[in-house]
Amino acid sequence: MVDTNPTSPGHVLGVLRAAGPLTRQELQERVGVSRATMVERLDVLRRAGLLRRVGHRESSGGRRAELLAVNDTGHTALVADLGQSHATLAVVDLRGTVFARAGHELSPHDSPQETLSRLVETGKSLITDSGKAETLCAVGLSVPGQIDHDEGVTAAPWSMREWDGVRLRDPFKEAFDVPVLLENDANALAMAEYYAMGRPEATMVGVKVGTGIGAGVVIAGRPHRGETGAAGEIGHMRIEGGDRRCVCGRRGCVAAEASGRALVRMLRSKGVRSVNDVVRWVEEGRAEAVDAVSAAGRLVGTVLATVVTIVNPRYVRLGGAIGVLPPFVEALRRTVEANAHTSALRKLDIAASQLGDRGVLVGMSGLVADEMLSPARVDAQGFR
């Protein structure tokens, strides 16, 4: 049961999170309870290890009042960015500080079970080595597919078909005995930008163009997932006139023309072998790669113009190895400006993500913090 009492300990923590640091008296006034009630609420939160003292405020009577803040540094999480060919794991605190991280190339020959148990083993040693085993409160996994949040399974991208329906939470739950959160990688990227900007009251769209293509929408500080977790899955929309065969089996998808995988295929005859090669060729200014990446930016921009017109976001942030390349960003921006409704463009700010490969990890640590410090979770004593 969710405690909807607006003066519960969880809600007090929520007020402190949004407005802190605050003194006990300031909290009392904001929440609207008596001194005795607030003392009791703070006691509950202190015992759960959710408060920390951050100094004093001089009051008018010359007395020094203790300033309280949410203890977001005393709890840690294991977060992982599971990609189509690479995974990154990190131990973070609820503020996003990274204590340890490790990367893994994923072999297409390994079964999902083999891959997951390797990730669990890596996670265990990261946590042990960082000395954070005692404070671990959650695991957060970002995955490149749609997620059924009730069942904890994914509808994997077509290129990872054997991952379809895999129960991702189970091996982590078993190994660490903490809540396991799942999020789509483009949503995690969009949330990362939202957190990095200091939680603006603005709608944002994150677009990730790496091996595949996906988008995430953040509305009112939450990822908009849609009815079946498919919101933002722009990679497998079919485009007029496209005829290339896609990994999903259909023809003419955006991903068949504009993803990292598609670019590698188009440039293979010139000697490109990987998405990293595409990035390097663009950085070296080789015309064939710059032209192909610009064409990809125009195509994704065409789709995004529709998204921008429907969602009317303030910020569009582009991530992924291809998505941050300047020719891609420029071509996409020009196409959106040419095609979206003019009033949807008035406040629109399109830019490459500055978070680099930390982006998804930052997003996951923020999502874990939002969940674990939420009134419902705190009042249900989700903390050990």
What residues numbered 49-88 form the site for Zn ion, per CB under 5 A?
Answer: none
Both tokens of 208, joined, read: 């990730």
Site map 221..240 versus Zn ion, x via CB under 5 A = ---------------x----
What residues numbered 298-317 form the site for Zn ion, per CB under 5 A?
Answer: none
Q: Which is nearer to Zn ion, 171 or 214 (CB)?
A: 214
Per DSSP, which regions of 187-230 are E strands?
Answer: 204-209, 213-219, 222-223
Sign of CA dihedral 247, 248, 250, 254: negative
Q: Which is nearer to Zn ion, 10 or 232 (CB)?
A: 232
* Binding residue for Zn ion, selected from 15, 48, 239, 248, defined by CB under 5 A: 248
Closest CB 158 distance from Zn ion, rounded Å: 6
Neighbours of 217 (CB within 10 A): 22
Q: Is 54 exposed, middle or buried (0-12, 13-18, 19+ CB in 10 A)?
A: middle
Number of amino acids touching Zn ion (CB under 5 A)? 4
Q: Are strands 349-352 and 315-319 parallel, antiparallel or unpaired?
A: parallel
Q: Which is nearer to Zn ion, 246 or 360 (CB)?
A: 246
Site map 250..279 versus Zn ion, x via CB under 5 A = ---x--------------------------
Closest CB 56 distance from Zn ion, rounded Å: 59
Separation of alpha carbons 318 and 203, rounded Å: 15
Q: Which is nearer to Zn ion, 246 or 324 (CB)?
A: 246
Question: Residues with Cβ < 8 Å from 66, sequence gap 6 or more?
Answer: 23, 24, 53, 56
Say which amino acid occupies 102. Answer: A
What residues numbered 169-198 form the site for Zn ion, per CB under 5 A?
Answer: none
Closest CB 103 distance from Zn ion, rounded Å: 28
Closest CB 243 distance from Zn ion, rounded Å: 12
Closest CB 380 distance from Zn ion, rounded Å: 41
Q: Give helix 260-267 / helix 287-311 axis angle, nearest 10°.
A: 150
Closest CB 238 distance from Zn ion, rounded Å: 8
**282 touches Zn ion (CB under 5 A):** no
**246 touches Zn ion (CB under 5 A):** yes
DSSP string, 319-357: ESTTTTSHHHHHHHHHHHHHHS-HHHHTT-EEEE-SSGG
For Cα atoms 75, 27, 196, give the angle at the middle one, nearest 5 degrees.
45
Q: Which is nearer to Zn ion, 155 or 248 (CB)?
A: 248
| Interface with Zn ion (CB under 5 A) | 236, 246, 248, 253
